[in-house]
C-alpha cells in the first residue's frame, strides 16, 4: 500500500509540477514583453513616485467613505472604528 501511495503522490506531483512550470513560463513571457515595451529607468520610477506622492496630498480622494446613515450600536463596536484617519 505504501508503494502504491508513493507512486500516486509522485504522479500527482509530476502533474502539478508540469502545470506550475507552464504557468511560470507564460508569466516570464508576459513579463518579458512588458519590459521590452515599456521599460522604465530609475529616473522614470522616481518621477512616477513623486507624482503619486504629490497627488496623494493635493488631490481629493474619490474613494473617501462615510456612514450612509446613523445606526444603532448598543455594544459600541462601531465606535472602535469611527475615529477617522483623515479630518
Residue 20 corresponds to which cell in the numbers above? 506550475
Q: What is d(CA 2, CA 8) in angstroms, rounded to the nearest whole number?
A: 10
Residue 7 and residue 1 in contact, taking contact as beta carbons nearer than 8 Å: no
Residues in CB range of 86: below 8 A, 6 or more apart: 61, 64
Q: In the predicted model, what is the mean pLDDT of the chain? A: 80
Read off the pLDDT of each residue in 58-85 and give the average, rounded to a whole number: 74
Torsion, Cα 87 63 57 49, to 10 degrees, reads 150
pLDDT at 34: 65
34-49 pLDDT tens trace: 665 455 566 788 888 8
pLDDT > 60? residue 4? yes
pTM over 0.75: no
Region 9-14: what's the mean pLDDT? 92
Residue spans of the domains in the chain: they are 1-57
Predicted local distance difference test score (pLDDT) of residue 6: 93
Amino acid at each position: 500500500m505504501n508503494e502504491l501511495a508513493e507512486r500516486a503522490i509522485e504522479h500527482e506531483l509530476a502533474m502539478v509540477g508540469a502545470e506550475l512550470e507552464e504557468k511560470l513560463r507564460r508569466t516570464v513571457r508576459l513579463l518579458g514583453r512588458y519590459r521590452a515595451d515599456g521599460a522604465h529607468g530609475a529616473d522614470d520610477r522616481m518621477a512616477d513616485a513623486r507624482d503619486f506622492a504629490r497627488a496623494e496630498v493635493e488631490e481629493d480622494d474619490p474613494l473617501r467613505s462615510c456612514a450612509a446613515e446613523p445606526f444603532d450600536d448598543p455594544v459600541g463596536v462601531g465606535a472602535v472604528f469611527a475615529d477617522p484617519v483623515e479630518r
